[in-house]
């Protein structure tokens, strides 16, 4: 028991040095993209409630939630993932084990060795608060479908862009529910970013003026306001063309500037998706609002 307690304290101390978790006065936890590895965290067996809305997707809720009945959380997680997964071609295989840690989450952990599943930690309060579970998990699920173990966002100068895409996932999911209360939840939470976007006349010029600062690792990771501005800029495009979610698996592992990065991304995707990335490129770097 003492050894476990000491190990827990050592783990918390390490994680607090590695990254900071930002909160608002309402207790809502913002995403931190600092990806530690599985070995940095206490191991909890992935033996909780599981559900598979599709043959290629398996989401398991582990015992770290300390709930008598894990089915409700599992149901929310599967509903959340389904709004994006339903648009992915060929039912790709993803195994995601979801744990709970109020201090460390939300976070996606890098895999260890030949580990066959991805582990995500959430920190929603209270434990079964559906809007926050959906907000946090949609963001982390976006990292999973972006092949984050390969692109290693935390080592990339384009981490800010990966974070913006995953903030977009949260907006996309909560709007896709068609539940006014859930759309209001995220739009109110990110109201400052929505107001900023409304005041931008030339988005290409605006993002160009921001990019150098965003590519600085610490600034890019924690500039949630700017990430959400980019996310809301792209949301109408993803809403109209949800097949765009298929392109995230092909995000380049590259430190190129955004203009070059998108060109590299276009070279990696399926031909059928190229016109969609052309539209994304114009929305981010051009002056047109046309979808």
- The DSSP-derived string for the chain is -HHHHHHHHHHHHHHHHH----B-TT-PBPP-----BGGGS----S-S-EEEEETTEEEEE-GGG--S--HHHHHHHHHHHHHHHTTSTT---EEEEEEE-TTT-SEEEBP-TT--SEEEEE--SSTT-HHHHHHHHHHHHHHHHTTHHHH-GGG-TTHHHHHHHHHHHHHHHHHHT--HHHHHHHHHHTHHHHHHHHT-S-HHHHHHHHHHHHTSHHHHHH-HHHHHHHHHHHHHHHHH-GGGGGGGGG-------HHHHHHHHHHHS-GGGHHHHHHHHHHHHSS----
CA–CA gap between residue 53 and residue 72 (Å, rounded): 14
Task: Write down the pLDDT at residue 21.
Answer: 30
Task: Write down the pLDDT at residue 271.
Answer: 94
Identify whether the C-beta of residue 224 lies closer than 8 Å to the C-beta of residue 30.
Answer: yes
Domain borders along the chain are 19-145, 154-285
Task: Write down the pLDDT at residue 291.
Answer: 67
Q: Is it the case that residue 28 has pLDDT exceeding 50?
A: no
- Kindly list the distances between the CA atom of residue 151 and the CA atoms of 22, 38, 144, 146, 255, in Å, as whole numbers in the listed order: 24, 17, 11, 8, 10
Task: Write down the pLDDT at residue 113.
Answer: 83
Q: Which of 38-42, 128-132, 194-198, 213-217 has the lowest mean pLDDT?
A: 38-42
Q: Which range has the top average pLDDT, 21-30, 110-119, 129-138?
A: 129-138
pLDDT higher for 49 or 291? Answer: 291
Angle, helix 224-240 to helix 203-214, in steps of 10 degrees: 130
Longest dimension (CA), the chain: 61
Instruction: Please state the pTM of the whole predicted model.
Output: 0.83
Task: Write down the pLDDT at residue 153.
Answer: 83
Q: Is it the case that residue 11 has pLDDT exceeding 50?
A: no
For 155-192, the pLDDT digits (tens) are: 889 999 999 999 999 999 999 998 999 999 999 999 99
Which tokens hold the place of 99?
Answer: 């744990």
CA–CA gap between residue 58 and residue 60 (Å, rounded): 7
């Amino acid at each position: 028991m003492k050894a476990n307690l000491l190990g827990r304290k050592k783990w918390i101390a390490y994680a607090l040095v590695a990254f900071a978790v930002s909160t608002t006065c309402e207790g809502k936890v913002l995403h931190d993209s600092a990806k530690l590895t599985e070995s940095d965290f206490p191991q909890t067996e992935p033996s909780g409630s599981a559900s598979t809305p599709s043959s290629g997707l398996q989401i398991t809720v582990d015992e770290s939630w300390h709930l008598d009945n894990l089915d409700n959380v599992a149901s929310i997680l599967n509903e959340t993932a389904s709004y994006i997964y339903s648009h992915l071609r060929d039912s790709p295989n993803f195994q995601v084990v979801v744990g709970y840690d109020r201090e460390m989450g939300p976070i996606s952990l890098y895999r260890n060795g030949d580990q066959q599943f991805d582990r995500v930690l959430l920190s929603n309060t209270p434990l079964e608060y559906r809007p926050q579970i959906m907000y946090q998990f949609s963001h982390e699920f976006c990292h999973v479908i972006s092949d984050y173990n390969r692109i290693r966002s935390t080592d990339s100068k384009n981490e800010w862009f990966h974070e913006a895409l995953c903030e977009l996932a949260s907006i996309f999911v909560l709007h896709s529910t068609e539940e006014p209360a859930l759309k209001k939840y995220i739009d109110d939470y990110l109201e400052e970013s929505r107001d900023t976007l409304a005041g931008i006349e030339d988005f290409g010029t605006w993002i160009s003026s921001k990019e150098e600062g965003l590519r600085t690792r610490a600034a890019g990771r924690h500039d949630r306001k700017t990430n959400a501005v980019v996310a809301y800029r792209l949301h109408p495009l993803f809403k109209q063309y949800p097949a765009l979610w298929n392109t995230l698996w092909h995000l380049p592992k590259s430190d190129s500037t955004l203009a070059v990065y998108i060109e590299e991304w276009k070279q990696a995707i399926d031909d059928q998706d190229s016109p969609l990335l052309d539209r994304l490129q114009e929305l981010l770097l051009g002056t047109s609002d046309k979808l």
